[in-house]
Amino acid sequence: MIGYTVSRLLQTIPILILVSLIAFGIIYLIPGDAATVIGGPSATAEDLARIRANLGLDQPLLAQIGHFYVNLLQGDLGRSLMLGIPVTDAVIARSPITISIALYSLVLTIVLGLSTGIVAALNHNRWIDQAATVFALIGVSLPNFWLALVMIVLFSVHLGWLPTGGYVPFTTDPIGWLRTATLPALSLAMLQAGLLTRITRSTMLEVLRQDYIRTARAKGVPEWVVITRHALANTLMPVVTVLGLILSVLLSGSIVIETIFNVPGIGSLLGNAISNRDYPMIQGGLLFVTAALLLLNLVVDILYTWLDPRIRVGGSA
């Protein structure tokens, strides 16, 4: 168990190094002179020099890489060209917003996905199962930003239930937060709920066929306890393994969704950086989100071994 945690941690380190190298390399994909592209047609010679100095482009490549990693180890992701502040500060300042919406969305995903998947499995091959399967398939096929726009038209413009955008922090006004965060979270969750429905349904069907379910019934355990205790415990474990994937898609979806709903999180920060060619911000944001996901996946994997007694408690047989 501890050995697994350590080896899993050690595996993550080379990936983290490679990931940061890739993020670092993005700026070299810019065709032609990066400073000219960033500065635009109106940039003066001084502007270009300043941009080069900011990005370290005036130094030899190896020195740049060395610099990059030294800074990275100190948590320095460079300085935003557009905002003039350290990327790390900007990202950290915005992250509570993105995290709160991502968590909300994760809860919606799990509630929607798990319950639909379970209901479908319990009604295998009946109309409700087919309806759930279709719902899941449509869920994974819709572009989430399009769904967001449709929901704005429906719930905000026509029905007037929720605002079309903006953001109120949970700490200042929980109700306001709920009003502003629901549509973004829901449009992010729909896709993932479809994915989770499919996984939950197929896992649950598999579990319900197992011998130990029959044993529980033979003991005289009431059917709802058989489902909620015996079947669910075994269904949840494989579902935990896809949490990392779900979070990954949630976070990448947040760029567009936050832009659409005018939510000032990391997503819209990156969206603005893209339209302003603020490369340090793009690189830093990308690296920050990816590193956070790697760590989250690490936690999920370790959580999984802790949940499964077959791994947690070594066996003799």
Partner 1 sequence: MSPLLSLRNVSVAFGGQPVVRDVSFDVASREIVGLVGESGSGKSVTALAILGLLPPTAEITGEIVFEGRDLPALGRRQMRRLRGAGIGMIFQEPMSSLNPVFTVGDQIIEAIRVHQRISRRAAADRAVELLEKVGIPAPRRRLEDYPHQMSGGMRQRVMIAIALSCSPRLLIADEPTTALDVTIQAQLLDLLAEVREEFGTAVVLITHNMGVIAEIADRVVVMYASRVVEEAGVFPLFDHPRHPYTRGLMASTPAMDMEAPRLVTIPGGTPTPGNLPPGCNFAPRCGYAIPPCAEGVPPMDAFADGQRAACIRARELGPAAPR
Partner 2 sequence: MADTLVMERAARPARLARMGAGLRRIGKSRAFVIGAVLFAFICLAATIGPLFTSVSPNALAIRSRFQPPSMEFWLGTDNLGRSVLSRVLWGARLSLGIGFAVVLINAAFGVLLGALAGYYRKLDNILMRVADALMAFPAVLLAIGIASALGPSAVTAIVALSVVYVPRTARVVRASVLVVRELDYVHAARACGATDRRIVMKHILPNCMAPLIVQLSFVFAYAILSEAVLSFLGLGAPPTVPSWGVLISEGRAYMREAAWLTIVPGAAIAITVLGLNLLGDGLRDVLDPRMKVEQG
Would you tell me which residues interact with partner 2 (CB under 8 A)? Answer: 14-15, 18-19, 21-23, 26-31, 37, 137-138, 140-143, 145-147, 149-150, 152-153, 157, 245, 248-249, 251-253, 255-256, 259-260, 270-271, 274-275, 277, 279, 282-283, 286, 289-290, 293-294
- Per CB under 8 A, the segment of 57-65, 78-86, 194-202, 212-220 that binds partner 1 is 212-220
C-beta of 2 vs 29, nearer to partner 2: 29
DSSP state of 79: B
CB 152 within 8 A of CB 183: yes
- Per CB under 8 A, the segment of 149-157, 189-197, 219-227, 254-262 that binds partner 1 is 219-227
The burial class, CB within 10 Å (0-12 / 13-18 / 19+), for 14 is: exposed
Q: How far is the CB of 221 from partner 1 (least distance, A)?
A: 5
CB 311 within 8 A of CB 1: yes
The burial class, CB within 10 Å (0-12 / 13-18 / 19+), for 275 is: exposed
CB 285 within 8 A of CB 266: yes
C-beta of 84 vs 314, nearer to partner 1: 314
CB 195 within 8 A of CB 253: no
Q: Is 233 in the site for partner 1 (CB under 8 A)?
A: yes
Q: How far is the CB of 299 from partner 1 (least distance, A)?
A: 20
Of 303, 229, 296, the C-alpha closest to 12 is: 296
Q: Is 214 in the site for partner 1 (CB under 8 A)?
A: yes
* Interacting residues with partner 1 between 282 and 311 (CB under 8 A): 307-310
C-beta of 129 vs 308, nearer to partner 1: 308
Q: Is 221 in the site for partner 1 (CB under 8 A)?
A: yes
Of 192, 188, 96, 78, the C-alpha closest to 144 is: 188
* Residue tagged 């610099």 (tokens): 67
C-beta of 173 vs 223, nearer to partner 1: 223
